[in-house]
Structure 1
Amino acid sequence: MIISDVKHFEKERHLWPPAVGRGIDYILNRNLGEAEAGRYDLEGDNGHLMFANVQEVVTRPSEEQIPESHVIYTDIQFLVSGEEKLCFYKLHPDAKVVDNKFDSHDISFYESDSSQQETGILLKPGMFAVCFPSDIHRPNCSITEETTNKKIVIKIHKDLLQL
């Protein structure tokens, strides 16, 4: 998991895989924050290597959000407006899958696991979190009350990250 914001992007980008830097560049240089909700292909045929989902989401209490992970794509979860708590913990052998959609949608949902040290981070506009396949994450959690947020989720294929 990487957590950062656009204020520190240029100073930190040398620490990250190049594809993560390109993903943030796409957000900043293509004005994706002003784009309508939908999918935008960025790299590869039909965006299979990298694409952006521009979303408007309503946050919910964390206990109502289901933990998830991916195998093929790494997420950059970039908050454009609003605020949210993003909870996460590392994938472990005892994680209980409740709905496996890896084959059809590159997502698997997990049973909430109170034995794990789930950490929550507060995302404000301009902040982003990079969720790798080893990060079980629970996005779009409300802080105190439900809010409608605009966010961009960049999906980076594992081949670009050599995972």
Structure 2
Amino acid sequence: MIVSHMSNWEQERSCFPSAISKALEWLGREIGEESPAGKYPIYGDKIYALVQHLTTEPAENRLAEAHREYVDIQLLLRGRELIRVARDTDDQQVWEDERESRDRLSYREVRGESDLKLTPGMFAVFFPMDIHRPCCSLGENMEIRKAVVKIHVSLL
């Protein structure tokens, strides 16, 4: 997992794989807090963005997830968001396996979760072994806007 802020990524650019740098450059140029919700192609089905307008809710109401075929870059555009994170180890229990249809493993309970608090401009990169429970509230539920870029692992 990587956590940073869009104001820092230019200085950190050389540390990122080129596909992640390409996606962050595109986000900085094309997406803002007023961007309409929807799917945005970046590089065919290998890199694309989903702009989402969501409402946070308590962490216990949210499922955690992990992906095997795509890396996620989650950029918060508006609001505040808590994302709970943990490593996907052999002792984590998968609740639902949707790898074939949605490239998603879902988890109800996850051992060893840590809290990641995002404010606008912050982003997190989740790799295939990173379980993440996004869209959790920090105290009160609120409307947020975020962009999630999916990058196929073959590009890394």
- The TM-score range, normalised by the shorter chain, is over 0.9
SS of the residue corresponding to residue 34 of structure 1 reads: coil
> How far does residue 65 in structure 1 lie from its aligned partner after superposition?
0.8
Q: Please, which moves more after superposition, 25-34 or 118-127? A: 25-34
For residue 95 of structure 1, the aligned residue among 85, 92, 98 is 92
The amino acid that maps onto 1:10 is E
Supply the distance in 2 between the matched residues of 1:58 and 1:30 (Cα, whole angstroms): 23
Q: How far 1:32 moved relative to its partner?
A: 4.9
TM-score (norm 2): 0.96
Map of 2:69 onto structure 1: 72
- In the alignment, the residues of structure 2 paired with residue 31 and residue 106 of structure 1 have an alpha-carbon distance, to the nearest angstrom, of 24
Kept after mapping to 1: 8 A contact 2:51/2:148: yes
Unmatched runs of 5 consecutive residues or more in structure 1: none
The match for 1:144 is 139
Identify unmatched segments of 5+ residues in structure 2: none
Indicate the RMSD between aligned Cα atoms, in angstroms: 1.0
Q: How many residues align?
A: 156
CA contact (8 A) 1:51 1:155 kept: yes
* Alpha-carbon distance in structure 1 between the residues aligned to 2:49 and 2:33: 11
86-95 or 31-40, which deviates more: 31-40
Counterpart AA for 2:83: L
Give the AA of the match of 2:48: F
Find runs of 4+ consecutive structure 1 residues off by over 2 angstroms. Answer: 31-35
Secondary structure (helix, strand or coil) at the match of 1:25 reads: helix
Q: Take 2:14 and 2:79, find their aligned partners in 1: how far apart are those partners?
A: 28
User: Which residue in the other structure is 2:155 paired with?
Assistant: 160
The answer (yes or no) to whether the contact 2:32–2:77 under 8 Å persists in 1 is no
Aligned match of 2:105 = 108
* 8 A Cα contact 1:26 1:32, kept in partner: no
Whether the 8 Å contact between 2:64 and 2:108 is mirrored in structure 1 is yes
